[in-house]
Structure 1
Amino acid sequence: MAPLTTTQRTVLAGARVVLPSGVVEGGRITVEGATIAADDTAGPLGAGPAGAADGRTDGAGRTDGAGQVTYDLTGRGYTIVPGFVDIHNHGGGGASFTSGSAEDILTGVRTHREHGTTTVVASTVTESMEFLVRRAGLLAELVEQGDLAGIHFEGPFISPCRKGAHDEGLLRHPDPADVRKLVEAARGTARMVTLAAELPGGIESVRLLAELGVIAAIGHTDASYEQTREAIDAGATVATHLFNAMPPLQHREPGPIAALLEDERITVELINDGTHLHPSVLELAFGSAGADRVAFITDAMDAAGFGDGMYELGPMKVEVREGVARLLEGGSIAGSTLTLDTAFKRAVTLDGLSLPDAVAALSVNPARLLGLQDRIGTLEPGKDADLVLLDRAWDLAGVMRKGEWVVEPA
Structure 2
Amino acid sequence: MSAGAGTDPGPGRDHGGGGAGGGSGRTVLTGASVVLPTGVVERGRVVVDGRTIASAGPGATAEDSAQGATAPDAGARDAGTRDAGALDLTGHWIVPGFVDLHVHGGGGASFSAGTADEALTAVRTHRRRGTTTMVASTVTGDLDDLARQAAALSELVEQGELAGIHFEGPFISRHRCGAHEPSLLRDPDPADVRKLIDAARGTARMMTLAPELPGGLDSVRLLADHGVIAAIGHTDSTYDATREAIDAGATVATHLFNAMPGLAHRAPGPVAALLEDERITVELINDGVHLHPSVLELAFHRAGADRVALITDAMGAAGMGDGRYPLGPLEVEVENGVARLVEGGSIAGSTLTLDTAFRRAVTVDRLPVPDVVRAISANPARLLGAYDRIGSLEPGKDADLVVLDAEFTLVGVMRKGEWVVRPQLP
Query: 1: CA distance between counterparts of 2:364 and 2:396?
Result: 34
Report the equivalent of 2:300. 286
Q: Which runs of 5+ in 1 are unaligned?
A: 39-43
Candidates 134, 152, 158, aligned match of 1:144: 158
- Identity, % of aligned pairs? 69
**Alignment RMSD:** 1.8
CA contact (8 A) 1:63 1:70 kept: no
Report the equivalent of 2:49. 32
Secondary structure of 1:98's match?
helix
Candidates 302, 316, 320, aligned match of 2:316: 302
Report the equivalent of 2:219. 205
Q: Please give the residue correspondences for 1:149-298 in structure 2 after superposition, counting only pairs within 5 Å.
A: 149-298=163-312
Across the two proteins, how many residue pairs are aligned to each other?
404
Report the equivalent of 1:118. 132
Report the equivalent of 2:385. 371
How far does the alpha carbon of each residue in 1:312-341 deviate from its partner, in whole angstroms, 9 at most, with x for none? 100001000000000000000000000000
Report the equivalent of 2:88. 73
Query: 2: CA distance between counterparts of 1:360 and 1:188?
Result: 27
Which residue type is aligned with residue 38 of structure 2?
S
CA contact (8 A) 1:160 1:171 kept: yes
CA contact (8 A) 2:172 2:210 kept: yes
The offset of 1:63, in angstroms, is 6.4
CA contact (8 A) 1:37 1:45 kept: no
Secondary structure of 1:135's match?
helix
The offset of 1:104, in angstroms, is 1.1
Flag the 1:293–1:129 CA change in 2: closer, same or farther, 3 A. Answer: same
Runs of 4+, deviation exceeding 3 Å: 44-49, 54-58, 60-67
Flag the 1:61–1:71 CA change in 2: closer, same or farther, 3 A. Answer: farther
Flag the 1:285–1:9 CA change in 2: closer, same or farther, 3 A. Answer: same
Q: Tell me whether 1:47 sits opposite 2:47 in the alignment.
A: no
Query: 1: CA distance between counterparts of 2:370 and 2:92?
Result: 16
CA contact (8 A) 1:8 1:32 kept: yes
Which residue type is aligned with residue 35 of structure 2?
V
How far does the alpha carbon of each residue in 1:38-84 deviate from its partner, in whole angstroms, 9 at most, with x for none? 3xxxxx63433334225997327996996312343254x11000000
Flag the 1:69–1:187 CA change in 2: closer, same or farther, 3 A. Answer: same
Q: Tell me whether 1:130 sits opposite 2:147 in the alignment.
A: no
How far does the alpha carbon of each residue in 1:173-208 deviate from its partner, in whole angstroms, 9 at most, with x for none? 000000011001101000000000000000000001
Secondary structure of 1:30's match?
strand
CA contact (8 A) 1:389 1:399 kept: yes
CA contact (8 A) 2:71 2:86 kept: no
Q: Tell me whether 1:23 sits opposite 2:40 in the alignment.
A: yes
Query: 2: CA distance between counterparts of 1:55 and 1:374?
Result: 30
CA contact (8 A) 1:61 1:69 kept: no
Report the equivalent of 1:319. 333
The offset of 1:99, in angstroms, is 1.4
Q: Which runs of 5+ in 2 are unaligned?
A: 1-12
The offset of 1:393, in angstroms, is 1.1
Query: 2: CA distance between counterparts of 1:53 and 1:156?
Result: 56
